[in-house]
Amino acid sequence: MKTSGLLHPTEIIVSPDYVQQAVLVANTGQAFDVPTGAHYCSFAASQSVDFWVRYGSTAASIPTTSSTGSSTNAELNPTARNIGSTAATTGLSLISGSAGYVTISWYI
């Protein structure tokens, strides 16, 4: 068997201690609290489900117009994010235009 080729084993992400699951219904937002002490999260979605995430809010929305930038915009299909600390971001919200599944894996 081949080695990973990494310089240190900690370069491979460990399994999370805390996972949130979202069963998305089309055009219906869901809010999630950030687990205490969490700093990093990674998102995974079922195939062909686009989802938007708005950090620090319970009101993610699907864009209906173009925008040159706003702190109230949501992010489309993020992968992994450093959200800082629970003092900086206490929650986030998800929304999708179609039904599907999303998981949020949390790390310290």
Within-domain flag for 36: yes
Torsion 2-105-76-51 (CA) sign? positive
Within-domain flag for 103: yes
Q: What is the CATH number of the domain that holds 93?
A: 2.60.120.510
Read off the pLDDT band of 8 (50, 70, 90): confident
Instruction: State how far the Cα of 43 lies from the Cα of 93, in Å rounded to an integer.
Output: 12
Instruction: State how far the Cα of 76 lies from the Cα of 53, in Å rounded to an integer.
Output: 7
pLDDT of residue 43: 98
Within-domain flag for 4: no
Name the domain count of the chain.
1
Within-domain flag for 100: yes
Helix (H, G, I), strand (E, B) or coil at 100: strand
Q: Is the pLDDT of residue 9 over 80?
A: no
pLDDT of residue 12: 82
Q: Is the pLDDT of residue 102 over 80?
A: yes
Residue 86 CB neighbours (<10 A) = 15
pLDDT tens track for 64-79? 999 888 878 999 999 9
Within-domain flag for 8: no
Q: Is the pLDDT of residue 106 over 90?
A: yes
pLDDT of residue 71: 78
**Domain range holding 100?**
16-62+72-107
Cut 0.85: pTM above it: yes
Which residue has better confidence, 88 or 106? 106
Within-domain flag for 3: no
76-96 average pLDDT score: 89
Within-domain flag for 89: yes
23-39 average pLDDT score: 95
R_g (Cα) of the chain, nearest Å: 15
